[in-house]
A and B are shown apart, each in its own frame.
Chain A
Amino acid sequence: MRALTAAAAGLAAALALIFTITAIGAPSGTTSPKPLLTTVPKHP
């Protein structure tokens, strides 16, 4: 019974961690102020 409880706790922690990370996700940022280029840039 104790082993089952420990395994369930481990599984719950893993699920909680993954759901939290994916829910937070990456910030979307803002649109770049740089224009669409109509001149040839000298370097990247």
Chain B
Amino acid sequence: MRRNVPTTGTTPTPPAGTHTTDPARRTAARGMRRWASLVLLALAVFFTALSPLMRWYAFPRLAKIPPSQYQDTVLEAKPATLIDYGTMKAKQVPKVTIVQTLKGDVAASDRIEQTAGRDVVVWDALSYVAGPDGKMVSEIPERYIFDAHSQEPVHATGEMVDGDPVRREGIEYKWPFLTEKRDYTYFDAQTRTSAPIHYKGTRTFRGLEVYYFEQTIPWTKVPLPKKMPVKGITPESVEKMGTTRWYTTKRMFWVEPVTGAPVNGQEIHKEELRGGDLLPGGGKVTAFAGHVKMRDDYADSIVAMVTSQRTLVLLLTSYLPWGFLVLGAALLALSLHLEARSRRPAASARRPSSAPSPASDEGVVSGGP
């Protein structure tokens, strides 16, 4: 842009950054460009290298379940069927609530990490089932030990379900980061076995894109809970009478794929007591049946938490790696441009010194009208 300046008759000074006939200044400018291009090249390599390092090296080491995590979830079955131990008959109740708590044991994870050689999370979990009056129907404690990033089970002393030592295969409670559209192996705490949980498609849950998984456990004989809801009745006394507990469930999870966190869970759950002296003649009675769904306020809270965590994971897997790559390419282009300019001979240097140089006029601001 030109601007008008009153003519004074003196030789105007060329503004900075314009070509000049002064060889010393021209050499200095060329040197500056060369240094700038080298600095830009270093920065270009820095950001370009950061891109894959961030995605493939830092992400698996930084994206982890914190060992101190504490989380509770409430699920409800409305209505539900429960056994009345007084009459040994099933009755319908308005509501059964399942309170599920996961609590990270930091000291135990530190101890196991020393031998496992990787970051480990130890979750003490409790599934507490409460009847409509709030009294305990059953409670199953678990200790679940897994790799903090990959979610792979880690086998160590203390791994258990309701006091029984187990050796888990597959996942439980949570999917790995960057969940894939495929079947996973899911551990079932009631049967103490693992079975495939099938990917059934992509859905939208409260504005989040989620993967829907489903697992059906067929009728299977399972151990009685160690803690029974009626005083005087123990699993041993029931087993002595020859009565067995059977269970089937259809388990459904809506999993946010970036974090691998389930944002919704449901179960169509049925338990029966069969045969023995309690139910003579091969009889059976429903101990618990209901369609268990996550309570709305907990679903809202989990969606909010997962949404914020999702941004952090995307920062490491997508936003920063792509941003660094684009920035690196731009800096490289700028560096090459400056390098090319520093090597280009000045126009004035190729002309005879006596001839008026147009380059020398470039910096002259406009004279008066």
Q: Real complex partners, A and B?
A: yes
Between A26, A30, A40, the greatest number of chain B beta carbons within 10 A of the residue's beta carbon is seen for A40
Find out whether the CB atom of A43 lies under 8 angstroms from the CB atom of B106: no
Q: How far is the CA of A30 from the CA of B34 in the complex (A)?
A: 53
Interface residues on B, range: 35 or more
Most buried by B among A10, A11, A18, A35: A10
Q: Contacts A7-B41, A10-B43, A10-B44 given: A31-B130 contact, CB under 8 Å?
A: no
Q: Which of A1-36 contact B (CB under 8 A)?
A: 2-3, 6-7, 9-11, 13-15, 17-18, 21-22, 25-26, 28-32, 34-36
Size class of the A contact interface (CB-based, 8 Å) = 20 to 34
Select B101's contact among A3, A15, A18, A37, beta carbons within 8 Å. Answer: A37
Give residues 62-77 of B contacting A (CB, 8 Å): 62, 64, 66-68, 70, 72, 74
Interface: B103 (CB within 8 A): yes
Is A29 a contact partner of B66 (Cβ separation < 8 A)?
yes
Give the residues in chain B near A25, CB-CB below 8 Å.
61-62
- Specify which of A2, A3, A30, A40 is in contact with B130 (CB 8 Å cutoff): A40
Given the complex of chains A and B, what is the CA–CA distance between A36 and B5 in angstroms?
Answer: 81
Tell me which residues across on chain B come within 8 A of A29, comparing CB atoms. 66-68, 106
Chain A neighbourhood of B184, CB < 8 A: none
When the two chains form their complex, are residues B68 and A38 in contact, meaning their CB atoms are under 8 A apart? Answer: no
A40 and B297 form a contact (CB under 8 A): no
Please tell me if the beta carbons of B136 and A38 are within 8 angstroms of each other in the complex: yes
Q: Nearest chain-B residue to A38 (Cβ)?
A: B128
Please, how many angstroms separate the alpha-carbon atoms of A25 and B247 in the complex? 43
Across-interface contacts of A26 in B (CB, < 8 A): 62, 64, 66
Q: How far is the CA of A39 from the CA of B106 in the complex (A)?
A: 24
- List 5 A-B pairs, minimum CB-CB distance, nearest first: A10-B45, A29-B68, A44-B301, A32-B70, A14-B49
B residues within 8 Å of A by Cβ?
A: 38-39, 41-47, 49-50, 53-54, 57-58, 61-62, 64, 66-68, 70, 72, 74, 97, 99, 101, 103-107, 109-110, 124-126, 128, 130, 134, 136, 139, 141, 297-298, 300-302
